[in-house]
Structures are given as C-alpha cells and as structure tokens.
C-alpha cells in the first residue's frame, strides 16, 4: 500500500510562496501520476494540478500563473509551489496518487496552510 | 471547465436505507466519473472509479452507474460508518473538477 505524507509550513504570509512536499513511501513514484488538491474550510475539493513520472505537468487554469509542480524520483517525493498567496489560498492541501482514468487511489492526510500576516 | 452538480446537497437517512445520489455534468464526460467518500478531518477515499477499475476493498453495497452527463451513486443498505460527505469527480478533461458534495446525515 502506498502511503503519502505532506510536509511544509502551516503559516505563510500574504504575497509569499507556499511550498509543500509530499513523500511517497515506496518506489511506486514511477508507477503513478501525482496530484495536489486543496479544500478551503467547508468547501468542495479543488484540483490544483498533476505531475507525471515523465515530469509532464497539468495545472488548474485558475492557478496556472502561480503554481509549479515538480517530481524528484531520487527522493521519492513531489512538490508544490504557489506564489503570491492571499487569504483565498488558505485551505487544507492534500497530495494524492493514482492511475490515468481511475481516480486518486492514495491520499496524504492533508495539511492546513493558513495565509496570514 | 466542466461543472458537476450533485443532488441532493443534504440527505437525511437511517441505517438500512437505500440511498441514491445524482451527479450531473455540464457536458458529456463519457463514463469518466469517480466517486469519493470524505469524513470530517480525513482525506477523501476513492469509492467508485470509471469502469469499476478500482478494487480497493470498497464494500459491495456501494455501486455507481451512468454515462454521458448523468451519474448515480447508490448505497444499497446504509451502515453507521457510511454517514459522510460524498463527492463526484470528472476525469474527462482538465481541469479535473468535483461536485459540491452531498452530506449524508443520520
């Protein structure tokens, strides 16, 4: 069973960069695509973007100008960077993994990121 | 973006009931819809994948159907652990989108 663990600061100042890492428990990082989601309090899930083992990425167009996903196979982790954050970026951020057209089979436990001065 | 609308948004039911949740897409997404269960403070859990390709130990009382723009999730006999929020998710095109959720309460 693949396990995921998010890590990163829980508090980010407005206009700064939010950076999170998701560590994958096994070498399965080569076998799946990897996704970031977020969920503001009491709201629906939002897909942030996806990174493939090839390094190819897809981003939510609403965030595309501010988001970068990357993958480091040697460290079994993938990362999210979101620049110029505002209070609207406050949310629980989840990392996930899965196969094309199957859905997200593996999830991290989620990490709350608050944007505040 | 493809908009997914779930109905109802809130559902009150009892243990043993059969419940159905509907998800309608703003455009054709073929069979590329997944369903998730989420409990408070916990990450979502994949229940149903397109073509039922996911075999993650989900109880057989959960089933999904539909294609095109209309889909349903059915729980045949509610158990106490099924009270949660359910989301549909389309996998047809980017950005991947979710429905607003259906909160299933006792």
Percent of chain A with pLDDT strictly greater than 90: 88
Of B43, B91, B94, the CB nearest to A107: B43
Q: Beta partners for A86?
A: none
Check residue B103 and give its pLDDT: 97
Q: To probe the interface with A, which of B53, B96, B98 has the most A CB atoms within 10 Å?
A: B96
CA atoms within 13 A of residue B41's CA, in its CB half-sphere: 0
- How long a stretch of residues is chain B? 106
> pLDDT (tens digit, 9 = 90+) per residue, A18-69?
999 999 997 788 999 999 999 999 899 999 999 999 999 999 999 999 999 9
Q: Which two tokens stand for residue A67?
A: 């988001």
The C-alpha of B13 sits at a distance from chain A's nearest C-alpha, in angstroms, of: 21
Tell me the two tokens of residue A55: 């390094």
Q: Is the pLDDT score of B58 beyond 80?
A: yes
Residue contact B34–A46, C-beta within 8 A: no
Show residues of chain A in contact with B53, CB under 8 Å: 99, 101-102
State the Cα–Cα distance between residues B9 and B32, nearest whole angstrom.
22
In degrees to the nearest 10, what's the CA dihedral of A52, A104, B42, A41?
Answer: 70
Distance, CA of B106 to CA of B101 (rounded, Å): 16
The nearest alpha carbon in chain B to A112 belongs to B41
CA B92 to each of CA A88, B27, B34, B48, B69: distance values in angstroms, whole numbers, following the listed order: 27, 10, 10, 15, 11
Res. B40: pLDDT tops 70: yes
R_g over Cα of chain A:
13
Q: Is there a contact between A101 and B53 if contact means CB atoms under 8 Å apart?
A: yes
Which residue from A47, A59, A101 is facing B50, i.e. has the nearest CB?
A101
Describe chain A by its helix, strand, coil percentages, rounded to 5. Answer: 10, 50, 40
Nearest to A44 among B1, B96, B98 (CB): B98
Query: What is the model's pLDDT at position B53?
Result: 66
The residue among A71, A81, A83, A61 whose CA lies nearest residue A34 is A71
Q: B55 pLDDT exceeds 90?
A: no
The total of other beta-carbon atoms located within 10 Å of residue B26's CB is: 13
Using a 10 angstrom Cβ sphere, with 0-12 exposed, 13-18 middle and 19 or more buried, the burial of residue A41 is: exposed
Give the pLDDT confidence of B72-106 residue by residue, as tens digits: 999 999 999 999 999 999 999 999 999 999 999 98
Question: Rounded mean pLDDT of A106-115?
Answer: 97
């Amino acid at each position: 069973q693949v396990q995921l663990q998010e890590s990163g600061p829980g508090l980010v100042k407005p206009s700064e960069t939010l950076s999170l890492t998701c560590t994958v428990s096994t070498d399965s990082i080569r076998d799946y695509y990897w996704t970031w989601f977020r969920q503001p309090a009491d709201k629906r899930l939002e897909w942030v973007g996806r990174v493939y083992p090839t390094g190819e990425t897809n981003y939510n167009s609403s965030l595309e100008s501010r988001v970068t996903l990357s993958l480091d196979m040697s460290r079994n982790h993938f990362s999210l960077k979101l620049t110029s954050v505002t209070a609207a970026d406050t949310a629980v951020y989840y990392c996930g993994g899965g196969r094309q057209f199957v859905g997200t089979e593996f999830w991290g436990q989620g990490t709350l990121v608050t944007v505040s001065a | 973006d493809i908009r997914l609308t779930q109905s109802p948004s809130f559902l009150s039911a009892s243990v043993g009931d059969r419940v159905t949740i509907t998800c309608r897409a703003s455009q054709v997404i073929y069979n590329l819809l997944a369903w998730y269960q989420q409990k408070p403070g916990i990450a979502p859990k994949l229940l149903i994948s397109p073509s039922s390709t996911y075999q993650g130990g989900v109880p057989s009382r959960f089933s999904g159907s539909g294609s095109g723009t209309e889909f349903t999730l059915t729980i045949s006999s509610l158990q106490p652990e099924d009270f949660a929020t359910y989301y549909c998710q389309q996998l047809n095109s980017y950005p991947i989108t979710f429905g607003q959720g259906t909160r299933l309460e006792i």
